[in-house]
Amino acid sequence: MEQAQRGRPAEGAGKGSRIARLSGAVLLGLAVLGAGASARADNAPACSSASARLKGQSAIPGLAGKLFRHQPIRILAIGSSSTEGIGASSPDHTYPAQLEDDLAALWKEPVTVVNSGKGGETVIQTIERLEAALKADRYDLVIWQVGTNDAINGVDETAFRALLERGISAVRQSGTEMVLLDQQYFPSIKDLARYERFVNAVSATGFERKIGVFSRYALMKEWNSRSPEELRSMLSADGFHMGDKGYDRLADCMADALQAMVEHSVAEARPTVTAAASVRDR
């Protein structure tokens, strides 16, 4: 708790000047945060469709606030093989490792992305590790890659959604912000209707719980629609997991999506700051 003020000034004394100082500082900080995107766009546009692939709630004010205060950012990337990096040539080529580099370069602040991926897991296994991780440490953001193994391994759809809800609740209760990363697209999906029901379950749950969802499924399907060769170039030799190029592109797109979320947080904060600044004129 912040130190209490000494003495009690007359009502309204100094209030306008204090809010004016706060408003000016916040507006300056928001301008600095917003500048990140334009710099990225001018120098290296990584994924022009990143914002279009981001569904649902797109604000992360807690993380944006830490960037404004120039504080280090800690992100937990949890999930199955796509997070662990199966198909990558080395740990440095996994998407969490590359996302860490991309965000540190984009935000000009220290960023740590903890890779907590474990290949082959379904949601019931990951959620136990997620709950334990949230108790053991504090994070500014959780990126939960979820749903692929559940869809292909016969997990009950209702049970899947209930566990997804449980995971979101655990993250919310810890005071941490969150983004869901949905299933991958791959050419040999056997039961497309079932698979897409699981994709839609992630999207719908995120929307209902006001959690941002980055649609990897839509992104990879777009690659395939442009050219099957483009998608194949993103995959490893097994035709299922991503390879180095795919993880690199995913990290770029995720970084751009997170920057878009920061910008959205900035835009949402502006009316509040403007209203606060007007107090000094009353």
pLDDT, tens digit (0-9, with 9 covering 90-100), for 152-166: 999 999 999 999 999
User: What radius of gyration, in Å, describes the C-alpha atoms of the chain?
Assistant: 21
Residues 16-33 have a mean pLDDT of: 39
Q: How far apart are CA 89 and CA 244, in angstroms?
A: 7
CA-to-CA distance for 129 and 135, rounded, in angstroms? 10
Give the C-alpha separation, 44 to 210, whole Å.
30
Average pLDDT over residues 120-148: 97
The answer to whether 123 and 180 have CB atoms below 8 angstroms apart is no
Percent of the chain topping pLDDT 90? 71
| Residue 216 scores a pLDDT above 50 | yes
What pLDDT score was predicted for residue 43?
42
Q: 269 in helix, strand or coil?
A: helix
Are 247 and 93 a contacting pair, CB within 8 Å? Answer: yes
Closest CA to 167 of 196, 136, 197, 209: 209
pLDDT higher than threshold 50 for residue 277: no
* N-terminal to C-terminal alpha carbon distance within the chain: 30
The tokens for 266 are 């900035």
Amino acid, res. 208 = E
What is the value of pTM for the model shown? 0.82
Q: Tell me phi and psi for residue 115, to 5 degrees.
A: -90, 110
* Cα–Cα distance for residue pair 163/138, rounded to 1 Å: 22
